[in-house]
Chain A
C-alpha cells in the first residue's frame, strides 16, 4: 500500500464537514505522531492560524508530538495503558511498567472497566490483567437482567447479527423510523415528550423539549450531534450499544433528525474505542445503501446524513460546548451558556446534542409507545437507565435497570455482591462525578431525586465498587488527579481548585496544605463550595463532590491522612 502524501490527505478532508480532527488523525495514523511539518500543512490547508492549531493539538492527549522511536512499527503510536480507577487496582501499573520499553504511557479510564486492563495499540484494544494475558478481544456483551426484568435499549442487543443491517431488520429494526415518518415531526416529538425520556448522559434534560426547541429555532441547516465521547471514568454503557446495536443509534438519530428538521448528523466517538469506529462506519454505510440515510429517506421529503468523527483524548469534550468547539476545529473550551445549542450549536446553528443511550432508546419508544416506556420505571419513575457497574463486585457489566431500582438490589441481587469475606466500603456515582456513597447512603434508589438527596447524582450511570480492602484516600486522590488533568484551564475555580484539592489528598509525603485538621477541612470546604458555585461547567462543579463525600463518609480516614 502506498503511503498518502500530505496533500492527498488534506485534499481528501478539507471540504468535508468538521475536517480538523479527521485530518489530524490521518496524519497521526500515517506517521504515528504529529510532526511540525504536519501541523504546518494542516494549518495552511484548513486556514487555522498556526499558533492556535499548535495549542489545540497540545490539548488532546492522544495526539503525540513525539516520534514513536525505533522500537515501534512504522506509523503506530506508542501503546497507551489504562490507569483508570479500576484498572490501576487490577494490574494497570505492572502492565505499564512492562511496556515502558515500547514507550507506553498511561491514559485515563478507557471504558473497559468490566474487563480490565485495556491497552490501546493503534487501532486495536488489548485486554488482560497481566502483560502476558493481554489480547485483542471484542467488548463484553451486557449480561441479561435477572428474573426477566424488562429492558428497552438492551431488549434486542443479544440477538445474533443485530450489529448488521440484516440482523437488525430481522429484529424489528428501522420500524421505529418507518412509524416516525408516517406521522408529522411534531407528533414524533410529542410521543418522545409523553415517554418522559430525558438526557441519559447525565444532564436529564427532557428529550422531547430539546427536539421541539430545535424544530422551532430559526437557522439552517440543523444538526443532530450524538455525544459518544464516553469519557467518564467507570462508564462503558455507550460502548455496548455502539458495538452490538449500532443501527439502533443510527435509527434514533434519524428519528431525531426527522422530528427536529435536521439534515446533518455527527457521531463524536471517543478515541479509545477504535474497533467501535469500524463498526459504526460499516453500519452507516449499510444504512445509506438501504436508504435509511441519505436523500428522500423512505420516500419522504427527508434528507439526513451522518458523519463519524473521532475524538482525540479529552474528557472535557464530553461537555457539549467543548464537543461542539472540538467538532468545529476550535480550542475545546466549554462555551458560555446561554445561548444553548438548541439555538446556537454546531456552527452557531440549531443543534440537538443527545447521548448515545438517549438516542438508542428512541426507536424502541416509537415502536412500542410512550406508555410502554414510562411503565418500565419503578416507584413512579419513567423508563430505564443503563448502569455500568465495575470494581469489587462479582458480576461487573452493563445493566439496564428500571429507574427507581434500589441500589442494594443491583449490587447484591443482580451483580452478586462483593467477593467472599469482603464487604462494600464505598461506591462511586455518576462515574466519578457524583463522588462516593457509603454506609446508609447505599440505601438510595437509582433515580436522580433519591441520589441527589444524599448530595450525589446518578449522572451517566457509572458505579464503581470499592471493598473494605481499598484505601479510599488513595482512590479519592487518583480521582481528583484525574479531574485536575482533565480540567480544560478555562475557568479559575476548576483550574486551580482541582490542583489544590489533588495536592491536599496526596499521600506519601507528596501532599501540600495545612497539617491541622480544622484548617485542612476549612480550606478543602471553601475550595469545594466556590468550585461548585462558580465553575463554568460541570467538571468543576462535580469534582469537589469527591472531597465533600470523602469527608462525610470517612471522617476518621481524613483525620489520619491530614495528621500524617
Chain B
C-alpha cells in the first residue's frame, strides 16, 4: 500500500499558476515537473546543484535580482516567473558570451551524450550573433593521447560537470579546477596526462559534458561513417551489474555506446569496458566461426558439430586421466542469466564437481 505523506502540500505560484511542491525541492525541480523548459548548462540532475551557468535564473517576487532556480529551494508562498523579457534577454546575453569563448560550438553528436546541449540552446535563444568577440578560453590537451577520452578544452565552458561527476558519482577525484577566472582549466594533479592520474576512464565526464569538449575517442573514430545515428536501448554485455546502455549504430555498424541516464542500475554511469570496449564487434580478428587444430597443428575452419565433438573429447580425456576435480567451470559474466544457470548445471551434473564460478565475482 502506498502511504500518503502526512505533510500538507506546500504551495507556490509558478508563472501565475498555483502549484504544489514537496519541501526540499528546488524551484528548478518544481518548474521542470510543471513542464517549464528552463535552460541550463551546469546542471546535471545527478549532481549537487552548482549555480554556475546562471541560465536558470528566474524572477522571484521580492528579491533584488533574479535567483538561480537550481540552487533556490522552493518556499511556501513564493511567486516565481520563469520567463520574462528581462530573463530571456539575460539568458541570450549569457549564451552569446559562452558562444564567444569557444573555437566552435557545433560538434559531432558522437562526442558524447550531452554534447549538443550548448548548440541546442544557441538555436533556441537565437544566440548565434557573433557578438562579444574576444579571446578564447581553455587549452586543448593535444598531448594527452590516451585511447578513450579526447580533452578538447578549446570547447570548455567551465561548467565543472566533469569535475563534479568524477567526485560525486565516480568518487575518483581525478580531475579538478586549475587557475581562476577566464584562465580556468580542467586539470589532473600537476597538469599531467589522464593516464598518470587517478582516472579510471569510466567516461562519465565525457557523457555529461555539454559542449563536447570532452569526447569519446572510440565513437568519434566513426564520425566519417555515413548514415544517421540510431540508438538501441540494451543491457551492457560485460558483467552482472546490468547497466543500461544505448548502442549507437549507423546502418549495420556499431559506432558507439552511451550510458542510459535513466538506467535503473547505473543512472548514467558505466565502466571503461562498457563505455569504450565495443570495437571488438567489427574487429577483423574477431572469431565468428569455430576453428579446430588439424593433425598438422594448424588451425582450420570447422563445423560446429566437429568443434563441439572435439571439445567433448578433450573434457572426457581430462576426467578419465585426472578425475572429476580436474575440471573447473567459470561462466562468462557476459552470458545471460539462463546461460549461467545451464552452465552450472552442466558442470555439476555433467562432471560431478562443484567447481563452478562466474567471472563477475572476480
Contact = CB atoms under 8 A, between A and B. Distances in A.
A487 B188 CA distance: 22
Given A50-B189, A493-B97, A530-B90, A499 B180 contact: no
Interface in B133-191: 133-135, 137, 157-158, 167, 173-184, 187-191
Contacts of A50: 173, 189, 198
Q: How large is the interface on A (under 10, 10 to 19, 20 to 34, 35 or more residues)?
A: 35 or more
Contacts of A534: 54, 57, 65-66, 68, 90, 94
A338 B78 CA distance: 15
Given A36-B190, A51-B187, A51-B198, A495 B181 contact: yes
A54 B178 contact: yes
A419 interface: no
A500 B100 contact: yes
A246 to B, nearest CB: 31
Contacts of B173: 49-52
Nearest to B53: A492
B65 A532 contact: yes
**Dominant secondary structure of chain A at its interface with chain B:** helix
Interface centre among B68, B131, B180 (most CB of A within 10 A): B180
Interface string B35-77: 0000001000000011111110100000001101001110000
B53 A496 contact: no
A495 B176 CA distance: 17
A503 B54 contact: no
Interface residues of B, number: 52
B51 A498 contact: no
Contact of A336 (B68, B90, B135, B181): B68
B219 interface: no
Given A527-B93, A533-B90, A496 B98 contact: yes
Contacts of B135: 499, 503, 512
Contacts, number: 155
B29 interface: no
Contacts of B354: none
A150 B322 CA distance: 105
Nearest to A494: B181
Contact of B184 (A54, A486, A495, A529): A495
A530 B180 contact: no
A241 B173 CA distance: 42
Nearest to A332: B180
A513 B133 contact: yes
A488 B180 contact: yes
A442 interface: no
The CB with the most chain A CB atoms within 10 A, among B157, B167, B178, is that of: B178
A550 interface: no
Contact of A58 (B41, B57, B178): B178
Contacts of B133: 512-513
A120 interface: no
Nearest to A534: B54
Nearest to B157: A492
Nearest to A485: B181
A484 interface: yes
Interface string B251-284: 0000000000000000000000000000000000
B40 to A, nearest CB: 11
A477 to B, nearest CB: 14
A536 B51 contact: yes
A59 B179 CA distance: 5
Interface in A26-42: 36, 39
A428 interface: no
A331 interface: yes
A331 B167 CA distance: 13
B52 A526 contact: no
B181 A499 contact: yes
Nearest to A59: B180
Contacts of A523: 131-132
A535 interface: yes
B197 interface: yes
A84 interface: no
B21 to A, nearest CB: 17
B97 A492 contact: yes
A380 B171 CA distance: 57
14 contacts: A49-B167, A49-B176, A50-B173, A54-B189, A54-B191, A331-B177, A489-B179, A489-B183, A491-B51, A493-B94, A495-B158, A512-B135, A527-B93, A533-B57
Given A54-B187, A59-B179, A336-B50, 16 more contacts: A49-B176, A51-B174, A51-B187, A314-B180, A336-B49, A487-B180, A492-B94, A496-B98, A496-B137, A512-B134, A523-B132, A526-B89, A530-B94, A533-B86, A534-B57, A534-B90
Interface of A: 36, 39, 49-56, 58-59, 314, 316, 331, 336, 338, 484-493, 495-500, 503, 512-513, 523, 526-527, 529-530, 532-536, 541
